[in-house]
Amino acid sequence: MEKSDAFKIFAMVGDRGSISGAARALGESKVTVSRAVSRLESLYNVRLVERTTRRITLTEVGSVLHARCIRIREEMEDADAEIATYRSSPAGILRIGCTSDVAKTLLTPNLPEFLANYPEIDVRVRVGERLLPESNILDVVLHCGWLSDSRLTARKIAEVKNILVASREYVQANGIPTSPDDLEDHAIIGNFYLDAAAIEPGPLPAYVPRLEISRGQERFTLPTYRRFLSTDHSQILELVKHGRVIAPITGIWALPGLLSGELVRILPDYEISESPQLYALYLDRLASIPKLKVFLDFIEEVVKRLTKEWQPQADKLFPKQNLVLFPSINFQTRNDS
């Protein structure tokens, strides 16, 4: 094993605080990671870590070496990034993180096209919640939600329109609300994150606004259903389709059900006050790398194509109520005819 490889592994061991955690993050075996630590201890003839059953603690000299290893790792990444800008075509491994909703809507249907367009880029996708870009783990994270920290390096891809919907079955059984006051006796799921008390929030500085609707100067906070909460938008949509609840659903997901009559838009004259945003989060040093730049351009193009495909149908279905699926996308359907 090269010393540079051992340095990168030890940097991750210190980051994760365990051999197994570093192995998972790097996609290596625990034996490989453990051997890298042992090699450095043997090379320098010092003890770098104190091992316990589940975790390791860096010794004083281990902390010194860990800080050095982080700087070495960053220097290597900067060198890779700088050299990559001189290539004639984008290449290398692109590590992408996203939620299951984003994977289902944007990535999965379009990855074959991206791979065909860029044959020298190898893609690794990690699906999970509250992911952040990390050195040697994730180059870019597609996050749909609300961010509270502007210090992140983030590129806004689009605003995402959410609307209140219920199933036809629900409306038949419970009646259709005609004003916000009518919602007091209905089961309404809030925005699509679990409560902070029920899930480890992780390092992503995200927040979840209260579910509010507005019309002009009017603003109403809606009561929310407590029996079911989920970070998976598709689970919430299934609960809606089964006639159990009213919920805010992304317009692009709700539109097929609205067109078929399976779903009904609730209080169409009101807007959900704070829409989630689709962001691309990435490390600042990677901003100029061609493989990242072409991927972000590709995702923006995917959103534009979705808009062009579905917006005319939304306009036809709701000619008097403005349902703009991605409000920040510059696409005017009425000017295309």
Please state which CATH number belongs to domain 3-84. Answer: 1.10.10.10
What residue type is 81 in one-letter code? A
> How much is the average pLDDT of 172-180?
93
What is the structure's pLDDT at 332?
43
At 208-236, the pLDDT tens digits run: 888 899 998 899 998 888 788 777 888 88
Mean predicted lDDT score pLDDT of the chain = 85
CA dist., res. 118 & res. 126, Å (int): 20
pLDDT-based confidence at residue 60 (cuts at 50, 70, 90): very high
At 182-214, the pLDDT tens digits run: 998 899 988 766 455 545 556 777 778 888 999
pLDDT-based confidence at residue 2 (cuts at 50, 70, 90): confident
Q: Please list the residues that pair with 319 across neighbouring strands.
A: none
Global pTM? 0.76
Residue 7 predicted with pLDDT over 80 = yes
Domain range 92-159+278-307, CATH architecture? 3-Layer(aba) Sandwich (3.40)
CA dist., res. 185 & res. 170, Å (int): 13
> How much is the average pLDDT of 71-88?
77
CA dist., res. 99 & res. 278, Å (int): 11
> How much is the average pLDDT of 63-89?
82
DSSP letter assigned to residue 105 = I
Compute CA distances 234 → 4, 44, 102, 296, 327, whole Å. 44, 53, 11, 24, 22
**What is the rounded (10 degree) CA torsion for 259, 265, 270, 271?**
-60
CATH superfamily of 162-274: Periplasmic binding protein-like II (3.40.190.10)
> With DSSP H G I counted as helix, E B as strand and the rest as coil, what are the percentages for the chain, rounded to 5?
40, 20, 40
Residue ranges covered by each domain of the chain? 3-84, 92-159+278-307, 162-274
Q: Please list the residues that pair with 51 across neighbouring strands.
A: 56
CA dist., res. 125 & res. 152, Å (int): 21
Least confident of 233-242, 248-257, 270-279, 317-326: 317-326
9 CB contacts (<8 Å, ≥6 apart)? Answer: 22, 26, 28, 32, 33, 36, 37
Residue 336 predicted with pLDDT over 70 = no
Burial (CB count <10 Å: 0-12, 13-18, 19+), residue 191: buried
CA dist., res. 142 & res. 97, Å (int): 6
Residue 331 predicted with pLDDT over 50 = no
Residue 330 predicted with pLDDT over 70 = no
Least confident of 11-15, 45-49, 53-57: 53-57
Q: Identical fold at 3-84 and 92-159+278-307?
A: no
At 143-175, the pLDDT tens digits run: 988 887 666 788 999 888 899 999 999 999 999
Residue 335 predicted with pLDDT over 50 = no
At 114-146, the pLDDT tens digits run: 999 999 889 999 998 888 888 778 889 999 888
